[in-house]
Structure 1
Amino acid sequence: MRRSGQNRFPEVDALRGCAVVMMLLYHMLFDLVFFGNLKMNLFSPFWRGYVLSGASLFVGLAGLSLTLSFSRERKHRNVVPFSKYLKRGLLLLFYGMVITLVTYLALPESYVRFGVLHCIGTSVILAYPFIPRPWLSLLGGLGSIVAGYFLSLKIFPFSFLLFLGLKPPRFSTLDYFPLFPWFGVVLLGIFAGNFLYPGGERGFTLPNIPAFPFRGLAFLGRHSLTIYLFHQPVILGLLFLLGLIRFPL
């Protein structure tokens, strides 16, 4: 299969599209449970594994995409400027802060303080020295994940290091992606991207894949940021119009 559009790999977009579909399904069910009458345990081992799988795919592909972007830049210049990743990271952090503000106004008891966009935005900035160094990315990724696991077992009497994974007592939030372990997932994505797409070229042969639903998933993947920013108001509005949920007065 050829690239879809300039400098894009449709299989990467399609995988990201799969993560988007998983997110949409879970958030729709969450809204039906939270605002409607659906009885379902979304904190069961199955659903926890489901959320972890979808999030890992989405965050890992962010790391893999960094290697593709870096390789494209390297074809045109000897030194890839850090400014490109700084600007991209700050833009994602800005979007993350918008979500923080909106969720604080809507649900102040569990608003998003360091969610997936905060995490990816910060990771894009921090990952710059790792991108051309796959083995360092592998070691850093594994170390970050191990550190995140041990931090998750503890409670800390402060919240100013929440972004690292140090949670205070009775911490509640709608979306939480601390750098430990999730920066490690980005680094593992960088490791995978360096070996699967050496020099920004596909290093393997794709099997014949039916156009449908592959193209649909690739479309969702190409617009994943827009979908992430606006999907909840759209889902809530549709469910409300269908009479499946009611908002508390």
Structure 2
Amino acid sequence: MAVYHACWDLTFTGLAGFDLFDNPLWLAARTAILSSFLLIAGIGLVLATESGLDWPRFSRRLGRLVAAAAAVSAASYAVFPDSPIFFGVLHHMAVASLLGLAVVRWPAGATLALAAAVLAAGQTLAFPLFDSPWLRWIGLTSVPPDSNDFVPLLPWMAALLAGVALARRWPGVGCGGLPGGGLPGGGLLGSGIGRPVVRALVWGGRQSLAIYLIHQPILYGAIWVLAQSGLFAVESPASRNFLASCVASCERTGTAPALCESRCGCVRREITALGQWDAFLTDRLDAQSRANIGAAAQRCVAP
């Protein structure tokens, strides 16, 4: 999770250009990270209710989740007003934990079947009604909302339900990560070398909410300082968008992709060298600047 967020920060600030939203490997990484959060939350829900539901304890946990989710939303509205986080992973965990209480004693097979149905519904159904700001958190939207972290109830609750089913099928799965419970007594994890690692993982698990809330502001702040330091070349999101749009437009003319990338990169470098990049992006070029950029573009496409 921290590595993924660091890569997002590097891309957002222009220090890197990871294709987080289109590259299948990055999409798979996000799915795996998010699914693991919710799977573990489902396992924890079963463990927390093994001896009956302790409502005061559950309410305190739920209150912390709601407060943390509200803090994330407030910060995102301040930093990213055009794409705020209105229903991210913490919002999802709060709502899904409440709904999960209804199935926490179901047989594993029935819960797994429900998880499959939730996944299928979230992946295949879409209705304009759910585009409403009051309903889009459910996940059946026809148009994805613009948000930096959108984790709708459908299909993502399938992961929490799968965790509930897993814990019901193997009651010891939450005790040490293995069906039957407990870490192995020998080997690396049981050795002197492994014990500090295990203790660190246990501590991290117990402080997971605090780590989740604190790590990203620290990462983003540090990376933002690096981006502003002038020590590294920074490529803004606007610059990347221009390049992608230029290449796509060039390819529609039947030009080879490699040649399009070369020509568009050349145009971008020429505009930057002329010191007209900001004016170009905001459409504030005067006649002479337009002529200079036009001449530079002609040089870039010349044989």
What is the TM-score with the length of structure 1 in the denominator?
Answer: 0.77
> How far is the alpha carbon of 1:90 from its aligned partner?
3.7
Structure 1 match to 2:2: 24
> How far is the alpha carbon of 1:231 from its aligned partner?
1.2
> How far is the alpha carbon of 1:155 from its aligned partner?
5.4
Structure 2 match to 1:110: 83
Match runs of 1:95-174 below 5 Å: 95-135=68-108, 136-151=110-125, 157-167=131-141, 169=143, 171-174=145-148
Match runs of 1:1-249 below 5 Å: 23-43=1-21, 44-71=23-50, 74=51, 79-82=52-55, 84-135=57-108, 136-151=110-125, 157-167=131-141, 169=143, 171-197=145-171, 203-204=180-181, 206-207=183-184, 208-210=187-189, 211=194, 213-241=197-225, 243-244=226-227
SS of aligned partner of 1:167: coil
> How far is the alpha carbon of 1:164 from its aligned partner?
0.6
> How far is the alpha carbon of 1:185 from its aligned partner?
1.1
Structure 2 match to 1:20: none
Counterparts of 2:37 and 2:180, CA distance in 1: 21
Counterparts of 1:245 and 1:139, CA distance in 2: 51
Gaps of 5+ in 1: 1-22
Amino acid paired to 2:214: F
Contact (CA 8 Å) 2:46, 2:164: kept in 1 or not?
yes
Structure 2 match to 1:17: none
Contact (CA 8 Å) 1:85, 1:125: kept in 2 or not?
no
Alpha-carbon spacing, 1:81–1:213, altered in 2? closer, same or farther (3 Å): closer
Amino acid paired to 1:237: G
Counterparts of 1:95 and 1:185, CA distance in 2: 21
| Identical aligned residues as a percent | 28
Deviations 1:93-120 (A, max 9, x none): 2211111111011111100010000000
SS of aligned partner of 1:142: helix
> How far is the alpha carbon of 1:86 from its aligned partner?
4.2
Contact (CA 8 Å) 2:43, 2:174: kept in 1 or not?
no
SS of aligned partner of 2:7: helix
SS of aligned partner of 2:15: coil
> How far is the alpha carbon of 1:240 from its aligned partner?
3.6
Counterparts of 1:110 and 1:195, CA distance in 2: 40
SS of aligned partner of 2:49: helix
Counterparts of 1:101 and 1:126, CA distance in 2: 25
> How far is the alpha carbon of 1:145 from its aligned partner?
1.1
Counterparts of 1:37 and 1:199, CA distance in 2: 41
Alpha-carbon spacing, 1:199–1:221, altered in 2? closer, same or farther (3 Å): closer
Counterparts of 2:198 and 2:57, CA distance in 1: 30
> How far is the alpha carbon of 1:173 from its aligned partner?
0.5
Gaps of 5+ in 2: 237-303
> How far is the alpha carbon of 1:46 from its aligned partner?
0.3
Alpha-carbon spacing, 1:199–1:167, altered in 2? closer, same or farther (3 Å): closer
Contact (CA 8 Å) 1:86, 1:125: kept in 2 or not?
no
Bigger relative contact order (CA 8 A; separation at least 6):
1
> How far is the alpha carbon of 1:239 from its aligned partner?
2.2
